[in-house]
Structure 1
Amino acid sequence: MKFKLHINQTLSQLLAQEDTDGDKKITIDDKGPKSFLLQDEEGNSIAIEGTYQLSNLLQELALSKKENSDFAEINLDEITEDPVKRISRKIKDLYWNGLTRTIDAAGVKKILEDDKIENAVSYLYVPAGDGFAFEYFKNLEASNPTLKVVQLPENISPEYVLSLNKKPGILGLALQTKKDKTDGIPFVVPGGRFNEMYGWDSYFITMGLLIDDKTDLAFGMAENFKYQIDHYGKILNANRSYYLTRTQPPLYTSLIIDIIEKSNPDISWIERHLKTAIKEYKTVWMEQGKRLTPNGLNRYRAEGIGLPFEVEEGHFDDILEKYAPKYNLSTREFEKKYLEREILDADLDHYFTHDRSMRESGHDTTNRLVGICADLNTVAINSLLYKYETDISFLISNYFSDKFIYSNDVVYSGDYWNQKAEERKERINELCWNEETGIYFDYNFKLKEQHYFEAATTFYPLWAKIATQEQAEILVQKTLPKFKMKGGIAGSTKLSVAGVSEHAPVRQWDYPFGWAPHQIFLWKGLLNYNFHNEAQEMIYRWLWLITRNAVDYNGTIPEKFDLSISSHKIFAEYGNVGTEFNYITEEGFGWMNASYQFGLTLLNPDLKKKLSDLTDPDTLF
């Protein structure tokens, strides 16, 4: 049944009656009657009841309004649609499009316009080795007076990156030319203020794209990964000037394998990307003294000078106020002088080495890594690199007859990479596994002891297939209950943050917050070791939380959740991205979208029905 409605008139009446807090959404927090009589010009009428249906009506009207029409035909089936089907459909048909960007003539304005940079001029930096891109963007600059295109030097030092803080900007990504037309290769951003291509977000986003048959976009993500390694030396934290010295968790080989399984690319595509993945492994992760430590395991170790540029004024007050009195300055004055390097302090520089490394880990921030990150062989990075080694072995053995020509004088076999993986697995289990607690801890290679902080990264060895079956059983039976909450697993146990001062910053990657990457790694890990019932439970809990939140809050799909209250309403550093919009979200949030679509591919039909009914997980499990 369809209703032909006057858009502005219906919107005004609906908001006046139901949006009682004036936030341009209809949620359970609004105090309206939660019943709206829908009438069209032909005399048809029906009452739209409850928060969910009313917010759906608001969303459909908002979408119709964008088409610059006075009237809209609203399909009643979309107002009353099963919430699971609606969320999944919106992700597939709307959100991915809303998150897609290109850096080219058509897309550069959208990528440059955000709230991070307040300069009158928008800077676009192009790598030294891409003359074609520099010429393309210089031509674009000529017709855009607010755009300034700068070619980077071949050698990018931390000192040079520091100098760019006075003129921060976006880093160019891959271009393609088809039929004499040059365009940027599309990529998908996380959403909200994260309006650029982020490192590990991109892997999870690509998982979602492949599930939703957005194959061209998935290939674009891979090409832009390759471009970053080839031209910037690493997969960047994000393609901004102040991230040039920082990478993120390595998931490139997982992305390659996912694409192969979904779309079966030709052998030349696999060869190109495998070579680049090996290059990244060798140059980013395996140079001794940088991210490789003497015991053969790895750490996060970002370069850079002074304060991380991306944080807002006041973010580091808890640490800066300890140093400012030493220089007889207020905290604000000290922050300014330290940021501009008028004051040099070796101890504080050391602290920020750890801080940048923590941000490189993707876990920005967690009490687990504050002030110590660069001293730790983290379970996370070594699990990811173990999977790199086994992935590379798999690709060589299955696609190149166990003989991969990396360069003129280097030929690799699958066995070579398997051996590296076995050596890493042995060291992880020796140094990081704690039999008594049943947890994989990070290892402090300087103090030669385990770093006792119970984090969700303990489940990464299940995802990477590092754990023995016995260890897996301990992790599932003894450890998982410590992390499990109504809506999924938290970033850490409550015990691990029990001793943190109430005056300290609320770290968003710790208890009680829940994140999509941790859930996805756990689900895959449980399935790797045949814990199917446990996997179904944990998938259901997370999808229930996303669905419940979207139903109650106008379709909101946030960056993360507070699992202690099963809500997107976060009291923590940085707030919560993906929650600020008018009428309808047209993006969701990248890895949250992906976790929903991925979870639905795994959830059994009976639980999907329970999910549509919003059955409380604590009554099921």
Structure 2
Amino acid sequence: MNCNKKFIEEQTIFNLPVNKTMDDLLSGYDTDGDKKITKDDAPQKDYYMMSTNGDTIILRNTYYISNLLQELAIAHEEHCENLTISLSQIQEPPAERISRRIRSHFWDNLTRTIDAKGLERIMDDEKMDDDHQRIYVPYNDSVGIEYFLGLQKKRRNLEVVILPPEITPEYVRSINELPGILSLKIENGKGVPFVVPGGRFNEMYGWDSYFEGIGLIIDDRLDLAKAMVDNFCYQIEHYGKILNANRSYYLTRTQPPFLSSFIREVYTAMPNKDENKEWLAYSLSIAIKEYENVWMNGKRYTPETGLNRYYAEGIGIPPETEPGHFRVILQEHADSYNLPVLKFEEKYKSGEIKDSTLDCYFVHDRTLRESGHDTTWRLDNVAADLNCVDVNSLLYKYEKDFEFLIATYFNESFITESGQTYTNEYWHEKTVTRKIRMKQYLWDDEKQCYFDYNIKTKKQIDFMAATNFFPLWAGLCTKEDAAHLVPILMSELKAQGGILGSSRASTEKYSNGLVNRQWDYPYGWAPHQMLLWKGLIDYGYETEAREMIYRWLWTITQNAVDYNGTIPEKYDVVASTHKVYAEYGNVGTEFAYITKSGFGWMNASYQYGLSLLDDEYIQKLDNLENPDTIFKV
């Protein structure tokens, strides 16, 4: 019986010499020398182990052997000479193991602070181009200025730069060769913590943080989720916006707006709401300030439609891109000047050559990056001209959240920090207006779907992308709209391993056979999955939601089982693999012995998906049952 088998497993204990066992495993099973044991290694022989009571146990499963390697690696790092481990630990079910490691290890490993203790980990990474550890501090953050100037006296290689009151594109360009970290909130002499995505993304990112927050709340890390909201509020107060990330070259760029949802979900999870009412009032006030100043009073608002767009200001080539990323576009312009491309690039960067067409291209490119979808053919060389479905859905959600929070917790009237009074009815009218305008400009009556609208050509673009379905998550669709949208989503964007970033047909049409873009077909991303699962559930499409949740979690689980616990940034969801051959590669796949952090929003999507699945499907997940078989494709 199973219960007897479980009992036997729990009584089967091994006491293993750590270094010798690791050497045995690597020499016998890591045939490609990557310090991992995966399905790509040569066919493997059985591994024999002697238990403490003298029984010989045979491991025949790559997953079990790689689990053992991982546990030995942890013991090695902890300077243990021997590892005592049970057979049941080695044979831990995959979903349970992945979830446990996210909860108990990954979040802590991804947590950072901008302070004396945390700076070393961030400032010694590959994005610092010179010998300085440079930190930029807002001119109006007296606490931060005092703290970091004090720290500078103790660290010879730390350079503290006080930012000017006005951050212009010209100023940001002037410091491109002096890269540094932007300070975040200092409280009680310490940096307020935050979670980073992982790998080379070693700073606080905009929309990543919201999705990570969902996972943190599920894993009872409310303190850390709340701290990230606090850092968002700091950024709005001191940098004027939620930054793309807290690096110096992102000062003119924001990211998709999720603050109202983040505030609402954190506050809902708080056990003592009365004690945290002041926190809610302050955070709500700051979110309204962001809504008004960043989105409604500037270039991100388009008066001709009454809708919004992404719009990232800046001058010249985005400095964070990899060398050669813009070689094709630069070559075209260099040829027109009869210059070698490197010489042209040098003269363009210095301002010696003025090229308005190229300037416009880089406005679109920065705007594409501000959208979080860097990169996609949907936004290529047109991003700043689009009223995108996604950003308008997110801002509709802001308006709905403001309406709800004021009606529920502030007796239908709320006074912001600046003294402005808002009622829930005011925000309700905003939602009604935005819904009408989105239906007018973004809804295609013939195709019965939302599409981005080009304010210059005054036409929708027919690009089928996951972002077209964000209205489901935001709750702005009628039931009739949802009844049209869901079948389109399931027919156009469903793949074996989850929801595609875009349809194959649209990607082929707009790419013209050029390079793959990582937010397009055949790739899938955690935020799209998480938003659309919730949208499907909220509109009563539980069956479709269950299928897409299972497909995504199966992809994560299967790859972790086959590849030594790998939890990467993204997947090819057509092939259901982390082996992605697109720009920038795949963060989270390079490690030795054991992954220590996975990837931020991927971790969150796993915890969120598990929280939505019934035990029946989690058991199927542990058995790695193929979704095409379960859902009879």
Q: TM-score, normalised by structure 1?
A: 0.97
Q: Name the SS of the counterpart of 1:271 in structure 2.
A: helix
Looking at structure 1, the residues matched to 531 and 448 of structure 2 have their Cα atoms a distance apart, in angstroms, of: 18
Partner of 1:243: 250
User: Among residues 104, 115, 119, which one is paired with 2:126 in the alignment?
Assistant: 115
Looking at structure 2, the residues matched to 75 and 502 of structure 1 have their Cα atoms a distance apart, in angstroms, of: 55
User: Among residues 592, 603, 607, which one is paired with 1:593 in the alignment?
Assistant: 603
Paired AA for residue 504 in structure 2 = K
User: Among residues 173, 189, 192, which one is paired with 1:185 in the alignment?
Assistant: 192
Q: After superposition, what is the alpha-carbon deviation per residue over 1:243-266, rounded to whole angstroms, capped at 9, x for unaligned?
A: 000000000000011111211442
Q: Name the SS of the counterpart of 1:3 in structure 2.
A: strand
Question: How far is 1:406 from its partner?
Answer: 1.7
Task: Work out whether 1:485 is the aligned partner of 2:495.
Answer: yes
Looking at structure 2, the residues matched to 247 and 130 of structure 1 have their Cα atoms a distance apart, in angstroms, of: 20
Looking at structure 2, the residues matched to 539 and 54 of structure 1 have their Cα atoms a distance apart, in angstroms, of: 28
Q: Name the SS of the counterpart of 1:580 in structure 2.
A: coil
Paired AA for residue 28 in structure 1 = K
1:90-109 to 2 correspondences below 5 Å: 90-109=101-120
Paired AA for residue 478 in structure 1 = I
Looking at structure 2, the residues matched to 287 and 35 of structure 1 have their Cα atoms a distance apart, in angstroms, of: 66
Partner of 1:257: 264
Partner of 1:550: 560
Looking at structure 1, the residues matched to 300 and 210 of structure 2 have their Cα atoms a distance apart, in angstroms, of: 24
Looking at structure 2, the residues matched to 143 and 584 of structure 1 have their Cα atoms a distance apart, in angstroms, of: 36
Looking at structure 2, the residues matched to 164 and 308 of structure 1 have their Cα atoms a distance apart, in angstroms, of: 12
Change (3 A) 1:470 1:502: closer
Q: After superposition, what is the alpha-carbon deviation per residue over 1:516-543, rounded to whole angstroms, capped at 9, x for unaligned?
A: 0111111010011101111111111101
Question: How far is 1:289 from its partner?
Answer: 3.7
User: Among residues 205, 224, 238, which one is paired with 1:217 in the alignment?
Assistant: 224
Question: How far is 1:446 from its partner?
Answer: 1.6
User: Among residues 277, 289, 294, which one is paired with 1:284 in the alignment?
Assistant: 294
Looking at structure 2, the residues matched to 600 and 135 of structure 1 have their Cα atoms a distance apart, in angstroms, of: 45
User: Among residues 42, 60, 67, which one is paired with 1:56 in the alignment?
Assistant: 67
Paired AA for residue 515 in structure 1 = W
Q: TM-score, normalised by structure 2?
A: 0.95
Q: After superposing the two structures, state which structure 1 stretch, 595-604 or 140-149, moved more.
A: 140-149
User: Among residues 576, 579, 582, which one is paired with 1:569 in the alignment?
Assistant: 579
Partner of 1:302: 312
Change (3 A) 1:418 1:253: same
Task: Work out whether 1:373 is the aligned partner of 2:383.
Answer: yes
Q: Are the aligned partners of 1:546 and 1:557 in contact in 2 as well (CA < 8 Å)?
A: yes
Q: After superposition, what is the alpha-carbon deviation per residue over 1:160-190, rounded to whole angstroms, capped at 9, x for unaligned?
A: 111111110100111110xxxx111110000
Change (3 A) 1:8 1:32: farther
Q: After superposing the two structures, state which structure 1 stretch, 585-594 or 341-350, moved more.
A: 341-350
Q: Name the SS of the counterpart of 1:548 in structure 2.
A: helix
Partner of 1:7: 18
Q: After superposing the two structures, state which structure 1 stretch, 202-211 or 502-511, moved more.
A: 502-511
Change (3 A) 1:407 1:100: closer
Q: After superposition, what is the alpha-carbon deviation per residue over 1:403-436, rounded to whole angstroms, capped at 9, x for unaligned?
A: 1012565211001001001100111111111122
Question: How far is 1:146 from its partner?
Answer: 2.0
Q: Are the aligned partners of 1:5 and 1:41 in contact in 2 as well (CA < 8 Å)?
A: no
Paired AA for residue 207 in structure 1 = I
Looking at structure 2, the residues matched to 592 and 290 of structure 1 have their Cα atoms a distance apart, in angstroms, of: 29
Partner of 2:546: 536
Looking at structure 2, the residues matched to 406 and 326 of structure 1 have their Cα atoms a distance apart, in angstroms, of: 54
Looking at structure 1, the residues matched to 193 and 481 of structure 2 have their Cα atoms a distance apart, in angstroms, of: 42
User: Among residues 360, 364, 370, which one is paired with 2:370 in the alignment?
Assistant: 360
Looking at structure 1, the residues matched to 78 and 365 of structure 2 have their Cα atoms a distance apart, in angstroms, of: 46
Looking at structure 1, the residues matched to 267 and 601 of structure 2 have their Cα atoms a distance apart, in angstroms, of: 20
Question: How far is 1:37 from its partner?
Answer: 1.8
Looking at structure 2, the residues matched to 25 and 356 of structure 1 have their Cα atoms a distance apart, in angstroms, of: 38
Question: How far is 1:463 from its partner?
Answer: 0.4
Q: Name the SS of the counterpart of 1:46 in structure 2.
A: strand
Paired AA for residue 134 in structure 1 = I
Q: Are the aligned partners of 1:5 and 1:40 in contact in 2 as well (CA < 8 Å)?
A: no
Q: Are the aligned partners of 2:129 and 2:179 in contact in 1 as well (CA < 8 Å)?
A: no
Partner of 2:5: none
Q: Are the aligned partners of 1:203 and 1:252 in contact in 2 as well (CA < 8 Å)?
A: yes
Looking at structure 1, the residues matched to 417 and 192 of structure 2 have their Cα atoms a distance apart, in angstroms, of: 27
1:261-340 to 2 correspondences below 5 Å: 261-264=268-271, 265=273, 266-340=276-350
Looking at structure 2, the residues matched to 291 and 45 of structure 1 have their Cα atoms a distance apart, in angstroms, of: 70
Change (3 A) 1:198 1:409: closer
Change (3 A) 1:340 1:46: farther
User: Among residues 5, 8, 31, which one is paired with 2:42 in the alignment?
Assistant: 31
Task: Work out whether 1:138 is the aligned partner of 2:149.
Answer: yes
Q: After superposing the two structures, state which structure 1 stretch, 442-451 or 357-366, moved more.
A: 442-451
Q: Are the aligned partners of 1:37 and 1:47 in contact in 2 as well (CA < 8 Å)?
A: yes
Q: Name the SS of the counterpart of 2:176 in structure 1.
A: helix
Q: After superposition, what is the alpha-carbon deviation per residue over 1:38-78, rounded to whole angstroms, capped at 9, x for unaligned?
A: 24687554222211001101100000111112222223222
Task: Work out whether 1:201 is the aligned partner of 2:212.
Answer: no
Paired AA for residue 578 in structure 2 = H
Looking at structure 2, the residues matched to 44 and 316 of structure 1 have their Cα atoms a distance apart, in angstroms, of: 61
1:305-454 to 2 correspondences below 5 Å: 305-407=315-417, 409-454=419-464
May I ask how many residue pairs the two structures share in their alignment?
A: 617
User: Among residues 19, 31, 55, which one is paired with 1:20 in the alignment?
Assistant: 31
Q: After superposition, what is the alpha-carbon deviation per residue over 1:557-596, rounded to whole angstroms, capped at 9, x for unaligned?
A: 0100012211000110001011111000010000000000
- Structure 2 residue runs of 5 or longer lacking an equivalent are 1-11
Q: After superposing the two structures, state which structure 1 stretch, 269-278 or 467-476, moved more.
A: 467-476
Looking at structure 2, the residues matched to 246 and 99 of structure 1 have their Cα atoms a distance apart, in angstroms, of: 23
User: Among residues 67, 72, 79, which one is paired with 1:68 in the alignment?
Assistant: 79
Q: After superposition, what is the alpha-carbon deviation per residue over 1:436-477, rounded to whole angstroms, capped at 9, x for unaligned?
A: 223210011121111111111111000001111111011112
Question: How far is 1:32 from its partner?
Answer: 4.2
Task: Work out whether 1:128 is the aligned partner of 2:135.
Answer: no
Change (3 A) 1:467 1:582: same
- Structure 1 residue runs of 5 or longer lacking an equivalent are none
Q: Name the SS of the counterpart of 2:175 in structure 1.
A: helix
Looking at structure 2, the residues matched to 34 and 161 of structure 1 have their Cα atoms a distance apart, in angstroms, of: 58
Q: After superposing the two structures, state which structure 1 stretch, 430-439 or 154-163, moved more.
A: 430-439
Looking at structure 2, the residues matched to 87 and 481 of structure 1 have their Cα atoms a distance apart, in angstroms, of: 30
User: Among residues 144, 159, 174, which one is paired with 1:148 in the alignment?
Assistant: 159
Paired AA for residue 404 in structure 2 = F
Looking at structure 2, the residues matched to 385 and 31 of structure 1 have their Cα atoms a distance apart, in angstroms, of: 52
Q: Are the aligned partners of 2:378 and 2:510 in contact in 1 as well (CA < 8 Å)?
A: no
Looking at structure 2, the residues matched to 297 and 515 of structure 1 have their Cα atoms a distance apart, in angstroms, of: 26
Looking at structure 2, the residues matched to 440 and 290 of structure 1 have their Cα atoms a distance apart, in angstroms, of: 20
Paired AA for residue 570 in structure 1 = V
Change (3 A) 1:44 1:67: farther
Paired AA for residue 236 in structure 1 = L
Question: How far is 1:338 from its partner?
Answer: 2.0
Change (3 A) 1:395 1:2: same
Q: Name the SS of the counterpart of 1:223 in structure 2.
A: helix
Paired AA for residue 25 in structure 2 = L
Paired AA for residue 548 in structure 1 = Q
Paired AA for residue 119 in structure 2 = V
Q: Are the aligned partners of 1:293 and 1:299 in contact in 2 as well (CA < 8 Å)?
A: no
Task: Work out whether 1:85 is the aligned partner of 2:92.
Answer: no
Looking at structure 2, the residues matched to 87 and 115 of structure 1 have their Cα atoms a distance apart, in angstroms, of: 28
Q: Are the aligned partners of 1:288 and 1:294 in contact in 2 as well (CA < 8 Å)?
A: no
Looking at structure 2, the residues matched to 501 and 591 of structure 1 have their Cα atoms a distance apart, in angstroms, of: 27
Q: After superposing the two structures, state which structure 1 stretch, 262-271 or 16-25, moved more.
A: 262-271
RMSD: 1.4
Looking at structure 2, the residues matched to 313 and 503 of structure 1 have their Cα atoms a distance apart, in angstroms, of: 23
